[in-house]
Every structure is written in structure tokens, then in C-alpha cells.
Chains A and B, each alone.
Chain A
Amino acid sequence: MRHGRHAALRKEGGFVLALVVLMLFAISVAGAAGYLVVNTEFSMAKFSDQGAEAETVARAGLHRFVAEQLGVVGDSVGYAIGNGVALVTSRKIAELDSLNHVYYIRSEGTVIDVLAPGSPARRVVGAYAYHRKRPLKHLGAMVVAAEGGWSQGGSAEVDGRDHNSSSDCPGGGAPPIPGIIARVSAGSLSGGDLAGAPPGVTWSGGFSQIYDSVAVRWDILTDPNFPVDFDGVVPNYAGLPADSFPVVRVSGYFNPGSSWSGRGLLIVDGELDAASSFVWNGIVLAGAVDDIHEGHIRGMLVAGLDGPNPSSDVYWQGTLHYYSCYVYAANESLSYLELIENTEFEAF
């Protein structure tokens, strides 16, 4: 009896179940296909975004490389920017003259998708840049944005005649430059020596004229985020090649003695007030300079880059001699890249 009822149930219920299972399967397939379509669209949108991001990373890397360049142009460098990496390489293409070279800068930006690390989004941009090798002009042995610049006292010497000769370096034995350039008056006092061609020059344009003529990127050089060779520390010159003229930066009031003596490009982001034991071979750039200065510089001094010098008159009591070879060497530490407008392009 029981056996007969089971047989009847099998006959009555079988087709509905099979049909429902079939329809559910069809719904699942349609749902999966719909999900796949939406997911593909999402992935494509994401890849598109990553491509755009890679291009932005490449451009950012290129501009950062150019902006941070100081001194010898680096061969290649990588930057982690946002979610990507920019690999920047440079190649010298031409030497326009001894002071200006042309470089090709190539930046490859990649953004890696963690789900597909083997195929990152990649974009390449390129641009050309001038390498300004010696940007600081030899304006005068002492250029100061004060009203008066003076060589004062029996042991004071400010001399714009070149103390190097052609045998010291290429370009050595340069024509004489002014001894002192100041805003209102320049001369000697109390037996101080002043020489140059001419010995003293006044620029009525004041600080602005001096700042613009020097053409130094002072705001960048003094930015704490701008990398320099030695920031607030004395280089170990014994460990440096003899022809190395590093960039040394100090901040605030600076009263160097013999321990700070050295060579290179000295950037004083503050007031320079050197003691008589201080000797520097190269270029000194200072935001301001104290009224009485006793140190010794073989090269050039440019002071008052922060604005009109706080001390209206600067009395130089040490020696300041123009050495063109030291200036050339230190000047190359100031060299920088200047992107050529209208040359940035995307390499396909």
C-alpha cells in the first residue's frame, strides 16, 4: 500500500521541481553574466583611471627632477609619487656653448594594480631642458644690498682683479670685475685697500636690481626642503676630491670661525658675521651681512638677498679677493635645469 502511494507522488511532482531547477539555473547564468558585464565595466574604468594617474605621475616626476636639480645632472632617479613610481632619466644631447647644454629628460610613470602587478599602467613623457652650468654672473668681488660697502682698516683688502691665472684653470685670468657693488656708496676707509675695474660701483636700483642681476634662485636654495650636499654641517673635506666644491647651507645668524673654513658654495639663510679666522674659497651667498666683517673670502660674496641689508653700511675688515677659478667651480654647484617651454610631450 505504502509502496503504491510513493510511486504516485513521483509521477505527480517531478516535472515542477525539474522546471524550477532549470529556471533557477538560467537565472543564475543571467545574473552571473550581468555581474560579469558590470564588473568588466568597473575594471575598465579603474584601468582608465590608473592610466591617467600614471601619466600624472610621469609628469610630476619630470617636473620634480628638473626642480630639484642642483649641480651635476643626475643620470637617473626614481620617485614614489602617490600610488605610482616615476623613473626619470636624462641624456645630454648638445652643448650650445660652455655654459649652456641641452638635456632630454624622460619620465616613465607606472601605477601598479595590486590585483594585476604584472601589467601596470604605464605612461611616458619627455621634455627638453637647458642646463645652466654657471648661472651666477661675475658681477663684483663683493655685491651687497646695503647703502654703503666699504673696505675699512689697514688689513682690509677688497680686490676685483683675478688672482688666478690661465694656468690655474680654463678661463682663469679673467678680466677684472668691480671690487664692491653697493646701493649708494662704495669705497675705502681708514687705509683699506679697494681695487677692481672699477674699484667701487653703486647701483641705484637697490636691492631689486642686485637681486635680479644676480639671477640666483634664492627662494629655492634656502627652502629647507630643497636638498643640498651639506645642510648645517661642516663637510669632511679630507674625504672629498680636491676638485669638489660642495654646497653648504646654514640657517639663522652665522658666526663662523676656522672650523667652518672650507670651499664650495656657502649659502647663509640668515645673517653672516664671520670671524677673522674664517677662510672660504668659492662663493658665499648670504641673506644679510653684519656691519663689520672680518673673514676672508677667495672668490665672491653676494649678500643681502633677503632684502635691503639690515645694516645700512657694511665695513669689510678682512680680505676679499676675486679668484675666478674658485668662482667657476663653486658656480657649477649652482647649475640647474631649466625646462624649455613648449617641449613637453607624451611618448606613445
Chain B
Amino acid sequence: MIAMLLSSVVIILVSGTFLVQSQYYSSQSLHVGAHDNARVATERLASEIRSTMQDGFVVAGARTMTIRSPIVLGVVCDRAGNDVHVHIEGGVAGLDVDEVAGLGMRDSGTGAWQYRNTTWSLLNGGSVSSASVCAGNGADTMWAASEFRQLVEVNPLFGAVPNEGTILMLFRETTFKIQTSVLDTSTLGLFRQVYGESFVEFATGMDTTAQFQYRTGGSTYADTITGSNVGDIDAVRIVVDARLPARSGVQEDVTFGWSVNVAVRNFP
């Protein structure tokens, strides 16, 4: 009898420990998942926002944000009719041509960017003779001949062919949207849409408080910026509070408050 009693106590203690361990593991998994959701969402967003040039914001809403961020910049090293020869870092090999949403041109006087939507297939003029043409204008093409390309039909986009030395931008136009998750309908998800494509969910588990906020100088952030004020955005606050539903009745939903301020680097 004594042996039975002692063994029962031992079994209860060990079982209790095991159950606590299991709950701890489950809880940690939820926390990690919540952290990962928040981190993935912010890092992907921040990397695109950070490089956005002035006037690169198209839509600045609490749950929807559309930005034009540079895929790569290039400098015009020669002009020919409606076309230009440019240097593009890394050449086409380093370019995700499917994401090209248009061409931007920097005003050398004001530093402002003009954006025009087009596609890579309409712009691509190949690389024939570009390196030698640019070398003739002083460019150093050594070991980088493939980085010199021809962009065609630039004149109709801007009304004039950019001068030598003008800086162009192949940009992507991306819309980020926080809406009900497809993967887990009890939470919100962060969706990304490349220009002309459909929305793709790349982070899930957002809480209902998740949103974007914008700063236009000063230190306060607003949920929505409209009209001409969109051009004044110099920082974005990404609020991606994460929530993962509990896996059992003894647990509560795991929430993780997370917000990051991303300064737009190129704002003068």
C-alpha cells in the first residue's frame, strides 16, 4: 500500500511537470510565431520604404500604402534619338524585370523625381554598343560592359530625352495592405502587391491594431495623408502588433506589440 501511494505521488509529480513543460513549449512557440510575424512584416516593409525617394508615396492610408521604390538607379551616359544609354548597377542579371513598374527621372535642378509607369519590355533596348558609346563619353566600362544598357522610347515618357548625367530610376510600385488573412481568417495579414499583379500574403497573424502611420515633418504621426501632403512624408511608422490564437483552453491569445519607425533616407 505504501509503495502504491508513493509511486502514485511520484507519477502525479512527474506528470504535472511534463504537462507544465508542454504548456511552456506551446506558449513559447506561440510567442516565437508572433515575434516572427511581426519581424518578417516590418523587415520586408522597411527595406522597401527606406529606399523610397521623395515623392515616392502614392497612397498613404492606415491600412493601405502604395510606394514607388527604386529597383536600381542609372545615369544617362549618351542619348540617341528617343533613346538613352545608361549604366545600371549589376546589369539586367541583377534586375527583377517583372517588378519594373516604370521609369523615374530626377530633375537635376530641384532634385525631385518624376515617375512614369511603363514596363521593362517597352524600355529594354538591349546592350548593343552601349558600353562603347558610354566609354566614348568618359565612362569607365572596364569589367562592367554588361552594366551598360539602352533604354528606348524615353522621350515620349517625359516629353524630352534626358541629358547626359541625368539620373534615372527603374522603380517598382508596391502596394501593402493589411486585411483579413487568407491563411488564418481569425487574424489580419500583410499583403503585398506588385504593380499589375494580385495581392500576395507574406505575413499573417496581425492584430486588429496593425496599421501604417506617417510623419510629414515634426514629430507626430498621422494615420492617413492625402493630397499634396503625400509628397511631404519623411517617415513611416509600421505598427504590426501580432496576435496568435491560443491552442488550448488553458491558454490565452498571445499578442506582441511591435512598431518600427522607418525614416525615408532620401528626404532632403
List residues of chain A with CB under 8 Å of any chain B CB: 12-13, 15-16, 19-20, 23-24, 26-27, 30-31, 33-34, 37-38, 40-41, 44-45, 48, 51, 59, 91-96, 100-102, 104, 106, 126, 128, 340-348
CA distance A92 to B251 in the complex (A): 62
Interface contact B25-A33, CB-CB below 8 Å: yes
CA distance A45 to B144 in the complex (A): 37
* B10, CB-defined interface residue at 8 Å: yes
Task: Report the minimum CB–CB distance from A27 to chain B (whole Å).
Answer: 5
Chain B residues near A38 (CB, 8 Å)?
28, 32
With A23-B18, A346-B51 known as contacts, the answer to whether A94 contacts B134 (CB < 8 A) is yes
CA distance A28 to B207 in the complex (A): 34
Chain B residues near A15 (CB, 8 Å)?
7
Interface residues of B in 38-92 (CB under 8 A from A): 39, 43, 47, 50-51, 53-54, 70-73, 75-77, 87, 89-90
Shortest Cβ-Cβ A-B pairs, 6 listed: A95-B138, A23-B14, A30-B21, A16-B7, A96-B165, A94-B77
With A94-B76, A94-B164, A347-B94 known as contacts, the answer to whether A27 contacts B14 (CB < 8 A) is yes
Interface contact A342-B111, CB-CB below 8 Å: yes
Task: Report the minimum CB–CB distance from A340 to chain B (whole Å).
Answer: 7
Interface CB pairs A-B, < 8 A, 24: A12-B3, A19-B7, A19-B14, A20-B11, A26-B18, A34-B24, A37-B29, A91-B87, A91-B140, A92-B140, A93-B140, A94-B138, A94-B164, A94-B165, A100-B165, A102-B165, A104-B89, A126-B73, A126-B89, A341-B111, A342-B111, A345-B51, A347-B72, A347-B90
Interface contact B17-A27, CB-CB below 8 Å: yes
CA distance A348 to B89 in the complex (A): 11
Chain A residues near B72 (CB, 8 Å)?
345, 347
Which residue in B25, B138, B144, B167 is a CB contact (below 8 Å) of A128? B167
* B268, CB-defined interface residue at 8 Å: yes
Interface contact B75-A34, CB-CB below 8 Å: no
With A94-B137, A102-B75 known as contacts, the answer to whether A344 contacts B21 (CB < 8 A) is no
- Of B76, B94, B139, chain A has the most CB atoms within 10 Å of the CB of B139
Q: Which residue of B lies closest to A94 (CB)?
A: B77
* B35, CB-defined interface residue at 8 Å: yes
Interface contact A30-B77, CB-CB below 8 Å: no
* B116, CB-defined interface residue at 8 Å: no
Interface contact A16-B164, CB-CB below 8 Å: no
Q: Which residue of B lies closest to A92 (CB)?
A: B140
Interface contact A37-B11, CB-CB below 8 Å: no
